[in-house]
Amino acid sequence: MGITRTKFDAQLGKLNESLIKMSKVVEIAINDAVKALVEKDIELAKKAIAADEEIDEMEKEIERLCLEIILRQQPVAGDLRLVSAVLKIITDLERIGDHATDISEITIFLSKSEYIKKLVHIPQMAEETMDMLNKSIEAFVKKDLTLAKQVIAADDKVDEIFVEIKEELIDIIKKDVSKTDQAMDFIMIAKYFERIGDHATNIAEWVVFSLTGIHKDGKVM
């Protein structure tokens, strides 16, 4: 029994390491996407887009490891919750990677023109969502319920910044309709960051589930 548990713990350790590695690649992709947007750096935007394939492969590898643990070790209670949470978390990480790609594709298009305004709130929004993502992964690794709940609460601030960005850009459109297309692109970018915040919140909610067995959607294990 001791040998089996030792092997199981080793697999869980590998799972943690793989999840952390995936989150780092996602974090770099988002940072590259933001910097590319601010600096109109097409090559950096392309780098963020290229990272999506690596993120997708990492998701598949972690999913394979999770399924192997479930089938071979048949975990129960807390261990099963942890593995189940990882399966959900990697889906959110993969989608965050998709949004880094979405933002970068718009950046490449926007780089051909002068921006209609100085970018202030979008980088601020990006910083807030990155902080949420980092803390949600930290909460998972450290099994920190309090930190997970802080991430969930932080989503309101991201939503507030999005509303501020949207209202400012709508006001720009009202004053000059020729700026409509670019303003709508910036609104879309802000929307992608709002979604990244939502995914970070989802991760934190799965951390809560892994620790308590209770999920906001009513799942109990």
pLDDT (tens digit per residue) in 7-34: 778 888 899 999 999 999 999 999 999 9
pLDDT band at 217 (very low <50, low <70, confident <90, very high): low
Q: What is the pLDDT of residue 172?
A: 96
With vertex at residue 204, the alpha carbon angle to CA 201 and CA 210, rounded to the nearest 5 degrees, is 145
pLDDT band at 218 (very low <50, low <70, confident <90, very high): low
pLDDT band at 205 (very low <50, low <70, confident <90, very high): very high
Q: Which fold has domain 2-212?
A: Methane Monooxygenase Hydroxylase; Chain G, domain 1 (1.20.58)
Closest CA to 44 of 107, 119, 90: 107
Helix (H) or strand (E) holding 182: helix 180-212
Closest CA to 166 of 193, 144, 142: 193
Q: What is the pLDDT of residue 8?
A: 76
Measured CA to CA, the distance from residue 14 to residue 30 in angstroms comes to: 25
Q: 6-15, 50-59, 157-166, 185-194: which range is least confident on average? A: 6-15
Is residue 156's pLDDT more than 90?
yes
Report pTM: 0.92
Is residue 75's pLDDT more than 90?
no
Average pLDDT over residues 102-127: 95
Could you give the residue ranges of the DSSP H alpha helices within 75-179? 77-110, 121-142, 145-175
Residues 6+ apart with CB under 8 A from 193: 99, 103, 122, 125, 126, 129, 158, 162
Rg (CA), the chain: 19
Closest CA to 193 of 134, 136, 124, 135: 124
Q: What are phi and psi of 40, to 5 degrees?
A: 55, 45
Q: What is the pLDDT of residue 79?
A: 87
With vertex at residue 103, the alpha carbon angle to CA 100 and CA 105, rounded to the nearest 5 degrees, is 110
